[in-house]
C-alpha cells in the first residue's frame, strides 16, 4: 500500500472514531494515530547482533463530556474494537471530576492549510543494506587506531511513518515522515585506562547520512581523545559546553518556560515574561516549517497550527511555550507547543570552536554530562562531567570524574559566547556555549 492510500485509510478510521464519539454522547473529541514501519539492526565486533522489523500502529482517543475528560487507546482497529475504545473513554470521562481548563484547543487556532514540509523520503527497508552500513561503520572504527580494543556496537535504524490527527472542530490532517540513523560506540585502552565514546548521523533522507567509514572513524577519534584522562583541582573557571551537549543546557531553559512547569509553579522562571534573562545579543528562534528538518511539524499534538516564533529576542523572554490546557491555566492562549518544540535555533557570536577555546584561554570544555542534578524549581545545577582542560587557549589533556555546579538563572546570564559551528541533529540547534565562572569540584 502506498503512503497516500495508508494516509486516507487512517484518516477514515479517525473520522469514524470522532463520529462515533459524538453519537455515544461526547460533547467533543479528538483522535490521533500513527503507523510506523521500521528496521533496526546492530552489530558488535563485526558480528550481527540483532535484526528487527517493526510495524506499529495504534489509535488514541480523548473525549470530553462537558469539562470531564476520558482517554483510551487501541491497537485493534476493527469496528467493534473502536466502538469499545470510545465507550471506555466516555465511561472514564463520566467518573472524572470537572475541570474548566479541559477541552479541545480553540477552533480558531486549529491548522487548516497544512504545508508540505518534505519530511518523507522513503527507501526500501532492506536488512542487507542496513547491516552493511552498521558493519562498515564498526569496521572503520575498529581499524582506525590500535588503541581501540573493543566495540559496544554499531546500529542502523530506518523508520517510515504516517501521523494523523483529527478533532470535532473539523480537522483531520495527516503527514508522512521518514527518519534514518547510523551510530557507532567504541572502547579504547591505553596504559590500563579505558574510555568509551560514540558518533552518529541522522537525517530524513537515507542518502544524506554521513558515510559509514566516517561515522566509525569519528567514533574512534572521539574515544582515543579521551584516553589518559585526569582529575583536576577544584576551581572556579569558564566552562565551554561542547555543541554536542550544549542543547541540554537550553533544554532545561525550555522546561522552565513550558506551560506545565509554570502553572504548577515549579519553574525558576516564573513571572519572567518580557524580562531580560539572557545576554542582550542572544536570540532563540523557532522555525517549525523548515523543509526536511528533523523537528519540523505543521501542527502540534492538539492540531494547533505551528508558526515562526522569536521565543527570546535580544535576551528578553517573549513567549512561554503553551498547550491549550496550560494556556487556560495561565489565562493565555495556546501557541502550538502540545508535545514540545519544533526546530529551535540559538543565535551565535560568530566564532568557530577553535576561536572559542582561544577566547576562553583557561577553563574546561565539557563533552559529557552525567547524573540528573538539575532542579527546575530553583535553578540549582550540579552534574558529573568529563571533557578537556584548556590553558593558554589550547587543549592540554582530557579530564574526568569532576562535577560542575551553578544556578541556571546565573548560567544563562553569564553566557559570554556561542560558536557558529551549530549542532543540527535535534529539535534544539546550537553551537558550543561558554559560561563564565562555574564551580568545578575535582580533587
- What's the pTM? 0.93
Res 429 pLDDT > 80: yes
Q: What is the DSSP string of 277-300?
A: -S-TT--EEE-TT-TT-TT--SB-
HEC sequence for 232-257: CCCEEEEEEECHHHHHHHHHHHHHHC
The arithmetic mean of pLDDT across residues 349-376, rounded, is 95
pLDDT at 129 (0 to 100): 96
Res 1 pLDDT > 80: no
pLDDT at 55 (0 to 100): 92
Share of the chain above pLDDT 70, in %: 100
Range(s) for CATH 3.30.2290.10 in the chain? 3-225
* Mean pLDDT computed over every residue of the chain: 96
Domain 3-225 has CATH 3.30.2290.10: yes
pLDDT at 2 (0 to 100): 86
Strands 344-346 and 284-286 come out as: antiparallel
User: How does 280-302 read in b/e, with b if 16+ C-beta sit within 10 Å?
Assistant: eebbbbbbbbbebbbbbbbbbbb
pLDDT at 442 (0 to 100): 85
Q: If pLDDT is split at 50, 70 and 90, which confidence band does 142 have?
A: very high
pLDDT at 334 (0 to 100): 96
Share of the chain above pLDDT 90, in %: 96
Q: If pLDDT is split at 50, 70 and 90, which confidence band does 372 have?
A: confident
The arithmetic mean of pLDDT across residues 36-54, rounded, is 96
Residue 407's H or E segment, with its range, is: strand 394-407
Res 14 pLDDT > 90: yes
pLDDT at 345 (0 to 100): 97
Provide the grid cell at 329.
491555566
* pLDDT tens digits, 283-335: 999 999 999 999 999 999 999 999 999 999 999 999 999 999 999 999 999 99
Res 343 pLDDT > 80: yes
Q: If pLDDT is split at 50, 70 and 90, which confidence band does 443 have?
A: confident
Q: What is the DSSP string of 262-277?
A: HHTT--TTTT-TTSB-
* pLDDT tens digits, 219-255: 999 999 999 999 999 999 999 999 999 999 999 999 9
* pLDDT tens digits, 158-213: 999 999 999 999 999 999 999 999 999 999 999 988 999 999 999 999 999 999 99
The arithmetic mean of pLDDT across residues 362-368, rounded, is 96
Res 272 pLDDT > 80: yes
Q: Check residue 208 and report its DSSP letter.
A: G
Amino acid at each position: 500500500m502506498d503512503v497516500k492510500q495508508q494516509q486516507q485509510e487512517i484518516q477514515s478510521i479517525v473520522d469514524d472514531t470522532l463520529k462515533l464519539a459524538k453519537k455515544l454522547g461526547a460533547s467533543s473529541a479528538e483522535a490521533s494515530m500513527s503507523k510506523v514501519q521500521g528496521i533496526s539492526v546492530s552489530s558488535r565486533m563485526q558480528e550481527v547482533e540483532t535484526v528487527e522489523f517493526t510495524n506499529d500502529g495504534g489509535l488514541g482517543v480523548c473525549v470530553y463530556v462537558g469539562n470531564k475528560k476520558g482517554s483510551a487507546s487501541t491497537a485493534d482497529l476493527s469496528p467493534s474494537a473502536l466502538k469499545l475504545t470510545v465507550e471506555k473513554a466516555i465511561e472514564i470521562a463520566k467518573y472524572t471530576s470537572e475541570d474548566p481548563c479541559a477541552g479541545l484547543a480553540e477552533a480558531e487556532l486549529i491548522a487548516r492549510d497544512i504545508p508540505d514540509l518534505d519530511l518523507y523520503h522513503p527507501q526500501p527497508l532492506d536488512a542487507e543494506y542496513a547491516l552493511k552500513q552498521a558493519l562498515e561503520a564498526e569496521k572503520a572504527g575498529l581499524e582506525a587506531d590500535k588503541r581501540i580494543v573493543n566495540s559496544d556496537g554499531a546500529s542502523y535504524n530506518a523508520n517510515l511513518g504516517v501521523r494523523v490527527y483529527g478533532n470535532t472542530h473539523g480537522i483531520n490532517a495527516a503527514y508522512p515522515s521518514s527518519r534514518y540513523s547510523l551510530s557507532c560506540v567504541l572502547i579504547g585502552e591505553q596504559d590500563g585506562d579505558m574510555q568509551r565514546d560514540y558518533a552518529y548521523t541522522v537525517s530524513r533522507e537515507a542518502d544524506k547520512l554521513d558515510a559509514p567509514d566516517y561515522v566509525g572513524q569519528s567514533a574512534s577519534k572521539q574515544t582515543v581523545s579521551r584516553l589518559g584522562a585526569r582529575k583536576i583541582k577544584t576551581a572556579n573557571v569558564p566552562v565551554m559546553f561542547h555543541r554536542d551537549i550544549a542543547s541540554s543546557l537550553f533544554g532545561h531553559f525550555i522546561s522552565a518556560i513550558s506551560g506545565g512547569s509554570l502553572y504548577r509553579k515549579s519553574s525558576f522562571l516564573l513571572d519572567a515574561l518580557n524580562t531580560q534573562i539572557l545576554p542582550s545579543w542572544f536570540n532563540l528562534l523557532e522555525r517549525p516549517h523548515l523543509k526536511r528538518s528533523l523537528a519540523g511539524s505543521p501542527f502540534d499534538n492538539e492540531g494547533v497550527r505551528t508558526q515562526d516564533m522569536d521565543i527570546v529576542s535580544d535576551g528578553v523572554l517573549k513567549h512561554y511555550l503553551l498547550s491549550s490546557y496550560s494556556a487556560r491555566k495561565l489565562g493565555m492562549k495556546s501557541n502550538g507547543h502540545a508535545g514540545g518544540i519544533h526546530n529551535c535555533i540559538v543565535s551565535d557570536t560568530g566564532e568557530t570552536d577553535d576561536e572559542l577555546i582561544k577566547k576562553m584561554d583557561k577553563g574546561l570544555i565539557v563533552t559529557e554530562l552525567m547524573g540528573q542534578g538539575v532542579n527546575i524549581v530553583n535553578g540549582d545545577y550540579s552534574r558529573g562531567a568529563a571533557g578537556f582542560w584548556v590553558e593558554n587557549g589550547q587543549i592540554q589533556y582530557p579530564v574526568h570524574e569532576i562535577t560542575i555546579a551553578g544556578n541556571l538563572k546565573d548560567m544563562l546570564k553569564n553566557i559570554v559566547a556561542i560558536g557558529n559551528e551549530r549542532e543540527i541533529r535535534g529539535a534544539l540547534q546550537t553551537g558550543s556555549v561558554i559560561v563564565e565562572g562555574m564551580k568545578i569540584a575535582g580533587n
